[in-house]
Chain A
Amino acid sequence: MNEDAEKIEVTLNGFKEKVTQGSSITQLILEYDEMESAMMVEQNGRFVYPQDYDTTLPETGDVLEFIHPDFGG
C-alpha cells in the first residue's frame, strides 16, 4: 500500500478503519487477511458478488462486512 495515498474512513466488520482511497474489495480482503473462497461481502447492507470485488471501490462512510458463511447443519 502507498503510505502517501489519501485515506478514507469506512466501517469494516464493525470497526472504524482508515483505508486507502481507491482500494478495491479484493485489495481489502487481502489486506485484512480475510481470504476464504466462499466468503460473503456486504457493503451498506447489500451483498457484493465475488466477480465485482475488483471493481467495487468503497467510499467514505461505507459499512463493510466480511462474513464467513455458515454451511453446517
Chain B
Amino acid sequence: MSTHLSPEEALRYHRQVILPQIGEEGQKRLQGSRIFVAGLGGLGSISAYYLAAAGIGQLRAVDKDRVELGNLNRQLLHFTGDIGEFKAESAKRKLQSLNPHCRVEALRETISEDNGDLLVGDAHLIVDGTDNLKTRKILNRVSLRKKIPFVFGGVDGLTGMATTFIPGVTPCFECLFPHGTPDKGPPGVLGPLPGIIGSLQALAAINFLVGVNSGLLTGRMLYVDGATMNFKMIEMGRNSRCRVCGADL
C-alpha cells in the first residue's frame, strides 16, 4: 500500500484534501483503510461508490444476487445492460473504473453465521447495505466479536435511518432490536432515500477513518422522513440488559 499521494492522486482528491478535517494525513489514512460493505443494493451501491471515490484503499463487498430490472430505480451502481449479471461483478467493474487506486474485492456470497467472521476479515469498518434483520444481527455479532465499528443504515418507503455502532461504546444493533420482525415482503422504496442513507453511511465511515469523531452518528439514530423532509436525531444509551453486548457493561 502506497503511503504517499502521487501527483495524479493529489489532483484526484484535491477537493477533499484541502478540507482541514481531511488534509494529506487524512487522505493517507483513507488510502490505508479496509472497509467491508455488506450488500450492493440500494444502500451499498451508494456507500461503496462514495467510499471508492474518496480513495479508500481496500473495499471488500459481498452480494449474492444478480441485477434485476426492478433494482434499477435505486441501485445506481447497476445499469440496464447489467441485468442478469451478478451484482458483485457489476459493482466491481464500476468501482474499479471509477477509482483504479481502490482495491475492490467483490464476492458472490451469502453472509451467514458460519462465514461472517471470515468475510469481514481484518476490515476497519463494516458498512451495512443489507435488506434484512437476520443479516444485520450476524454483522452485529461479528462487529462485537472483532471490535469493528458497524455503520447501520435502513430504508423503508419514504423513511430511512442510520447510526454507527461502536463495540463497547455505543448500544449495539440488538440492544435496539432484540426481537424479530414480521416478514412483510420487500418494502416500497424511492431511490433518493437509499441515496441519502447510503451517502450518510459513507460520510460516517470517512469521518471515523480520518478521526472526525463528531460526525459518526454514535449514540444517536438519524431518522429521515422523506414525506415531510424532516430529519431528526434519537438519542440512545447503552442497554445493560442486552443479551448480546450487555454483559460487558
Residues of A whose CB lies within 8 Å of any CB of B are 36-38, 40, 42, 45-47, 49-51, 67-73
Interface residues of B in 163-177 (CB under 8 A from A): 171, 175-177
Q: Are A69 and B239 in contact (CB under 8 A)?
A: no
Q: List 5 A-B contacts (CB under 8 A).
A: A67-B223, A70-B154, A70-B159, A71-B136, A73-B153
Whether B186 is near chain A, meaning CB under 8 Å from some CB there, is: yes
Interface size on B, residues (CB 8 A): 43
Chain B neighbourhood of A49, CB < 8 A: 175-176, 239, 241
Q: Are A69 and B161 in contact (CB under 8 A)?
A: yes
Q: How far is the CB of A35 from chain B (nearest CB, A)?
A: 10
**SS of B interface (majority):** mixed
Q: How far is the CB of A55 from chain B (nearest CB, A)?
A: 12
Q: Are B155 and A46 in contact (CB under 8 A)?
A: no
Q: Are A38 and B179 in contact (CB under 8 A)?
A: yes
Q: Are B156 and A68 in contact (CB under 8 A)?
A: yes
> Please, how many angstroms separate the alpha-carbon atoms of A40 and B223 in the complex?
11
Scoring B residues 146 to 161 as 1 if CB is less than 8 Å from chain A, else 0, what string do you get? 0000000111110111
Residues of B whose CB lies within 8 Å of any CB of A are 39, 41-44, 128-133, 136, 153-157, 159-161, 171, 175-182, 186-187, 189, 194, 221, 223, 232-237, 239, 241
Q: Which residue of B lies closest to A37 (CB)?
A: B179
Chain A neighbourhood of B131, CB < 8 A: 71-73
Q: Are A45 and B154 in contact (CB under 8 A)?
A: no
Q: How far is the CB of A56 from chain B (nearest CB, A)?
A: 13
Q: How far is the CB of B248 from chain A (nearest CB, A)?
A: 17
Most buried by B among A37, A38, A71: A71
Q: Are B234 and A40 in contact (CB under 8 A)?
A: yes
Chain B neighbourhood of A42, CB < 8 A: 234
Chain A neighbourhood of B128, CB < 8 A: 73
Chain B neighbourhood of A36, CB < 8 A: 181-182
Chain A neighbourhood of B129, CB < 8 A: 73
> Please, how many angstroms separate the alpha-carbon atoms of A72 and B233 in the complex?
20
Q: Are A37 and B187 in contact (CB under 8 A)?
A: no
- Choose among A38, A40, A46, A72 the residue that contacts B186 (Cβ–Cβ < 8 A): A72
Q: How far is the CB of B224 from chain A (nearest CB, A)?
A: 9
Q: How far is the CB of B152 from chain A (nearest CB, A)?
A: 10
Chain B neighbourhood of A51, CB < 8 A: 239, 241
Q: Are B160 and A70 in contact (CB under 8 A)?
A: yes
Q: How far is the CB of B41 from chain A (nearest CB, A)?
A: 5
Chain A neighbourhood of B42, CB < 8 A: 72-73
Q: Are B177 and A38 in contact (CB under 8 A)?
A: yes
Given known A40-B176, A40-B234, A49-B175, contact A71–B241 (CB-CB < 8 A): no
